[in-house]
Structure 1
Amino acid sequence: MNIYDKAHEFAKELGNCPEVINLREASKGIEGNDNNKRMLDDFRKLQIEAYSQQMQDGKVSDEITEKLKNLGPIISTNPAVSNYIQAEQRFSIVWNDVLKILNDAIGIDFTFGMNK
């Protein structure tokens, strides 16, 4: 079996893992609902802004921290968005683990020249 066959086999397994199935199901609560999409978009924009500030300044501003803190309770009152974010976080853990396994198998440090 060649590497491409293994990749297809892995893709099939990944598509059937509980974290992916749950994420797919949770995404149905977002699709087709403009309010849910907007709430998720707002949350993502804030996350990106916080991440960018963390990378540039070494910390997140009090303003962004406060916005995130205020958005959390609002999101928790929306079961579809809250469920999606939780499913996405669970999938993210699996995905990061898989990437680590693959990177370890390659045996090359791809972080050369990058700040760690």
Structure 2
Amino acid sequence: MSIYEVAYNLEKAIRQSEEFQRLKKMYEDIQHDETSSRMFNNFRDIQMRLHQKQMTGEEILQEEIEQAQKMAALVQQHDKIAQLMELEQRMSFLIAEVNKIVLKPLEELYNKFE
């Protein structure tokens, strides 16, 4: 089996996983609720703008930080969005763990010569 076949099988396994299915359902529930959807999308937009600025070395203004903090506090109070964010964290942790496993041969190779 080629590495690509294994990767596609892994993609399929992730899509079929309970973690992904729960995340997908919660995301769909939020997108079908106009208020939740608007709030969630605004939060994501703020996150993306700040991340973009950070990656390009642009200065992040204090007002932007305060806006992001206020929005984060607001979405944390919204039950569905808070649940979605928790599910996203779990999925992110799962992907990070898989990434560690996939990169283990390279890590071992380079650590061998240090």
Same-fold call, TM > 0.5?
yes
Deviation at 1:8, TM superposition (A): 4.6
Residue by residue, what CA displacement relative to the aligned partner does 1:24-64 show, whole Å, maximum 9, x if unpaired?
A: 23223213112212111111111111112222337632111
Question: Does the aligned pair in 2 maintain the 1:54–1:60 contact within 8 Å?
Answer: yes
Match of 1:38 in 2: 38
Distance 1:49 1:12 in 2: 31
Match of 2:85 in 1: 85
Gaps of 5+ in 2: 108-114
Distance 1:94 1:14 in 2: 9
Match of 1:62 in 2: 62
Q: CA RMSD in A?
A: 2.6
Query: Which segment drifts farther, 57-66 or 37-46?
Result: 57-66
TM (normalized to structure 1)? Answer: 0.71
> Kindly, what percent of the aligned residue pairs are identical?
21
Distance 1:35 1:44 in 2: 14
Going by fraction, where is helix more abundant, 1 or 2? 2
